[in-house]
């Protein structure tokens, strides 16, 4: 939440055409009682894009799934993995893993309300759930509601005593349970998530499961996405670009957003990691951080930042 907004997803599309991108979680209350356009509008270039919902009332989720289809999303995803206190207080997110029958009913209602795929994102367990059979019971029960795609974060969520950040790092990863899910449910699409930082790791996981979801890694190092289409998806129409070309490709979009009243940093904050590990990357990030938030800042600030990453001058070598 507050990370993968439509500006972020639009930027990622300069690097990968075919990876499926997911929205930040949107609650049913925000859609049913708030500004639908603000939450659901996206750019046509984002396809394929999935709408991630947070909620626990089948009728509400059904109404929101129908809204998502109407707005043109390619998939609806039910979040059963977020461990934040705010989400728990709303009785959705990871705490729903304690109520698999309710999740089943939610999925069934959503599938009835729309004709696009409905998937589930969840953990391998919560709090007291210590054995694999409990995970099997959850997946089997939810699959009975019509879910065919399960995105599994290979960590438990400890709902008491850990912050959301700690829940992404402290509970140990258990990839073997996710692999076993695929063996036990071969008819389901099982996607693995959690602690995956390289395309080498993606390839290793794809020996056991159907897909890989990347979270923090491409946000911190977006260039990771540049090889996804060819290396993982076998696409022959992959984006062919370099970092400078990716920036140039974003400029018309950014100018349009500025004309609509946005500030430069609304977009460029998602581009800070583009030169991760590259010459001049630190200066690039600093320049954007110091200037992009200013009301008067335009695309020239982004071009100035990128200039720090031009190839370093060759050192003169003297022979004596």
CATH number of the CATH domain containing 29: 3.20.20.70
> Coil, helix or strand for 153?
strand
Report the chain's C-alpha Rg in angstroms: 21
How many domains does the structure of the chain reveal? 2
- On the question of pLDDT at 33 being above 60, the answer is yes
> Average of pLDDT values for 177-189?
98
Residue 279 has which token pair? 């010459």
Choose one of 232, 253, 287: the last residue of a domain: 232
- Residue 267's domain spans which residues? 243-307
**Together in a domain, 172 and 295:** no
Same domain for 36 and 173, yes or no, is yes
Residue 237 tokens read as 């129409």
Among this protein's residues, is 82 annotated catalytic? yes
- Enumerate the H helices of the chain as residue ranges: 6-12, 28-33, 36-40, 58-70, 85-89, 100-113, 132-143, 164-167, 175-184, 199-205, 216-220, 243-259, 264-268, 281-291, 299-307
pLDDT band at 286 (very low <50, low <70, confident <90, very high): very high
Please tell me the total number of residues recorded for the chain in this structure.
Answer: 320
* pLDDT given for residue 170 in this prediction: 82
Between residues 121 and 129, the one the model is more confident about: 121
Which tokens belong to 147? 């879910």
pLDDT tens figures, 229-242: 999 999 988 877 89
Q: What are phi and psi of 293, to 5 degrees?
A: -80, -10
pLDDT value of residue 86: 61
Given this model, what pLDDT does residue 84 score?
73
Query: Over pLDDT 70: what percentage of the chain?
Result: 95
Domain boundary at 232, 261, 278, which?
Answer: 232
**247 and 123 share a domain?**
no
Q: Check 64, 82, 106, 114 and give the catalytic one.
A: 82
- Model confidence at 314, pLDDT cuts 50, 70, 90, reads low
**What's the confidence (pLDDT) of residue 104?**
98
First to last CA, the chain: 60
**Confidence class for position 163, pLDDT limits 50, 70, 90:** confident
Give the CATH number of the domain where residue 258 resides.
Answer: 1.20.120.1460
CA dist 285 and 273 (Å) reads 7
Of 182, 197, 232, the residue that ends a domain is: 232
Cα 96 from Cα 20, distance rounded (Å): 25
Regarding whether 98 and 192 lie in a shared domain, the answer is: yes
């Amino acid at each position: 939440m507050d990370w993968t907004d439509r500006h972020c997803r639009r930027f990622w599309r300069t690097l990968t055409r075919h990876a499926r991108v997911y929205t930040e979680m949107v609650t049913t209350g925000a859609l049913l009682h708030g500004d639908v356009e603000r939450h659901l509008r996206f750019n046509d270039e984002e396809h394929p894009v999935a709408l991630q919902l947070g909620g626990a009332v089948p009728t509400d989720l059904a109404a929101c799934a129908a809204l998502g289809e109407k707005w043109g999303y390619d998939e609806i995803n039910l979040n059963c993995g977020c461990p934040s206190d705010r989400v728990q207080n709303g009785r959705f997110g990871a705490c729903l893993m304690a109520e698999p029958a309710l999740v089943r009913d939610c999925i069934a209602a959503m599938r009835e309300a729309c004709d696009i795929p409905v998937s589930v994102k969840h953990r391998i367990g919560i709090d007291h759930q210590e054995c694999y059979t409990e995970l099997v019971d959850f997946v089997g029960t939810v699959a009975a509601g019509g879910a065919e795609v399960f995105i599994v974060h290979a960590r438990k969520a400890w709902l008491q005593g850990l912050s959301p950040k700690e829940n992404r790092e402290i509970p140990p990863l258990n990839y073997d349970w996710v692999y076993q899910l695929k063996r036990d449910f071969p008819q389901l699409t099982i996607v693995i998530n959690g602690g995956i930082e390289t395309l080498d790791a993606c390839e290793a996981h794809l020996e056991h499961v159907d897909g890989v979801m990347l979270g923090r890694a491409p946000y911190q190092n977006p260039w990771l996405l540049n090889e996804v289409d060819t290396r993982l998806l076998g696409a022959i129409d992959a984006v062919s670009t370099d970092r400078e070309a990716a920036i140039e490709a974003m400029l018309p979009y950014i100018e349009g957003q500025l004309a609509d009243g946005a500030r430069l940093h609304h977009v460029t904050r998602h581009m800070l990691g583009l030169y991760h590990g590259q010459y001049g990357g630190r200066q690039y990030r600093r320049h954007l951080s110091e200037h992009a938030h200013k009301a008067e800042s335009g695309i020239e600030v982004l071009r100035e930042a990128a200039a720090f990453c031009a190839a370093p001058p060759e050192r003169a070598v003297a022979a004596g």
